[in-house]
Amino acid sequence: MATWSQAEGLPQPLGATWLQEEDSYNFSLCSRHATGVTLLLYAARDLVNPVLRVPLNYLIHKSGRIWHCRLAADEVADASYYAYSVEGPSGALRESHFFDPDKVLLDPYARSIFFPPDFRRSASIGRGSNTGRTPVGALPVNIPAFDWGDQSNPFDWGGESNYRHTSDTIIYEMHVRGFTNRGNSGVSPDKRGTFAGVVEKIPYLKELGVTALELMPVFQYDPDEGNYWGYMPLSFFSPHQGYAASSHAAEAAAEFKAMVKELHRAGIEVILDVVYNHTTEAGADGPTYSYRAICNSTYYLLDESMTHYRNDTGTGNVLRSAHPTVRKMIIDSLRFWVLEMHVDGFRFDLASIFSRNIDGSINLEDPPLISEISGGAEYANVRLIAEAWDPASYELGRSFPGQTWSQWNGRFRDDVRAFVKSDAGKVGDLMTRLYGSSDLFPDDLDNAYHSAQSINYVTSHDGFCLYDLVAYNDKHNLANGQNNTDGTDNNLSWNCGWEGDENVPAEVMRLRKQQIKNFFTILMVSNGTPMFCAGDEFMNTQRGNNNPWNQDNGTTWLDWDLLEKNSDMFRFFKGMIAFRKAHPSLARSRFWREDVNWYGVNGSVDLGNLSHSLAFCLHGGSQQDRDMYVMINAYWEDLTFQIQEGAMSGWMRVADTSMPSPLDLLESGKEETLESMSYKVKARSIVVLLKKPVSVGAIKNDKQNSYFDAST
């Protein structure tokens, strides 16, 4: 006689599960308001007519809000794919739902998704059948477990790099497709734009010196939606098939795992940019693929009338993350990517959405999803990074309820951009950002934030890339099809006297390179955790497009010919990264406090509105490191700084951004001892000095010999 679970199925785990010991499948779907659910099974040869329809009887196949059933393998027969049809209530309750029994619906927990040859987004818009033209789940198959080798434990890298990077962390934001899709990427033609393509670029990443990749969204999204960036997810459990070299849906996950495994072997962490605040179903006029017709009022935040979507994300819908069902889905997704896919962290897009209560009001005290993620044992050694703002709420710093999370520091971006382009009254703001942004992340007794929680950046995918920041005063977004109205107008950019990249005078290009070096030097000598965009290191350009979300073309694909053309810039980035990693005094868990002294050109810092310069001396003794003296001049004229600590013979010049390569960053053993305690810092430039070691071996953490060593 069959057991209860064999006869009825089990409500957990959600999704479709292959049970090897029973030679059967368990199916489970959560819908609070459904009045009927039918499981649909399809053979590969026919995505229109199911080979099996299994109506679920709520007296047998429902536990609480979860519908479930168990099917033996011989019952499934030659089916390869599955989906659901869901019926809902009539009358008043119908107003808050989109139930449509004619719609074929994707399982929210599907681990692999298949797009039929006749798939198109428009087929799922409005009411009526979308059969044969909508994504369906692939049945899990009995395939061998992925061989992680000595990385079988996701929290132990098997001796290769069995720690999360700390003071040496350098985050590199990357779009998987855009990184290698251009023909000059040097990647095998069949692997361009894929997870496998990233693997082929690992030697380059190691040479550059980055220690963590932050991958723009890799969740499966609608390939017909036109969103190249991937910020409109269809599924939270399946990697995007378009990023896999294989055309087989089930192999995308294996290719992703192989990429993670090889990056870990190289000592590089993998952080995912994740979108748990909305879906590709968009507003009421968007497609009905899954959530909307499974239980609309459960998955999405509606207005007070319960008839219209809230649009706090600006994308047409908002996931109701405080609802227990949605909260569980997000937590299950995070567990999947950590425990099964071995990722090391998450950057949460519009994380402030998580502070919404179940009714949409804002809860800054103890929002349930943030509390559950923060307290989960699985995430104790996982990076949690918040983008702590959305169109309706700005929570950067202490306002964001996840006190132990790191945060993208948009204030760092804006203040550094404004200072470098010589805006008035920005010296005090720059000091605060260099120090670690203690105004946003206070380390007083009540708060006890760490400076490392500030993710410092000047550029990200959202806005100008670094070259465009110094080449364009205005955005040039006409190609996006929105009449140049999309993208921010507040770029805080300066084109150095010439708009764009055509026929640029030599003196303008020289200044642009100098400004890029200034930006990167500030990033590398600031306390906090630095991040920059792929391609910034060789002056990649998007031709002034500051919002290329739909540009799957040469606008966003990195142009690797620029690596050779701008090899001097690559050398500078590589060297400054190595300098930072060699000096843990710069990047600390805590703030610099008494170890830093602030100076002006001659005397104390001038915080006046017309001041554009400052200096600081960072003492490294407490970190078993050497002292350094940094002089920053954003004024449009040369300034002669007086070096106000130490002796003339004790300081060596490491970097001067006004000088041409290779003099702009001196190699180990070729640093220049100062001949005077006065130093003329050229207009719009930065000088970094390093104190000579007291004696050989006196400084435990000194690694200056590795400044241009690709192995660091």
Residue 13, SS3?
Answer: coil
Instruction: Tell me which of 107, 173, 281, 349 is the catalytic residue.
Output: 349
Q: How does 410-447 read in b/e, with b if 16+ C-beta sit within 10 Å?
A: bbbbbbbbbbbbeeeebbebbbbbbbbbbebbeeeeee
* 525, amino acid identity: V
CB 628 within 8 A of CB 688: yes
SS (H, E, C) 595-650: HEEEECCCCCCCCCCCCCEEEEEECCHHHCCCCEEEEEECCCCCEEEECCCCCHHH
Instruction: Specify burial of residue 274 (Cβ count, 10 A radius: 0-12, 13-18, 19+).
Output: buried
Residue with tokens 């390179």: 513
Alpha-carbon distance of 365 to 347, in angstroms, equals 21
Task: In whole angstroms, give the CA distance from residue 235 to residue 136.
Answer: 11
How many other C-beta atoms are found inside a 10 Å radius of the C-beta of residue 275?
Answer: 25
Look up 349 and say whether it is catalytic: yes
CB 214 within 8 A of CB 268: no
Report the 10 Å Cβ neighbour count for 347: 26
How far is 515 from 657, CA to CA, in rounded Å?
A: 8
Instruction: Provide the token pair at 568.
Output: 């001097």
Report the C-alpha gap between 262 and 686 in whole angstroms: 37
387 noted as active-site residue: yes
Residue 666 carries which DSSP code?
P
C-alpha 538/C-alpha 559 separation (Å) is: 9
Out of 269, 273, 387, 536, pick the active-site residue: 387
Contact 403, 440 (CB under 8 A): no
Q: How far apart are CA 13 and CA 68, in angstroms?
A: 10
Active-site positions read 349, 387
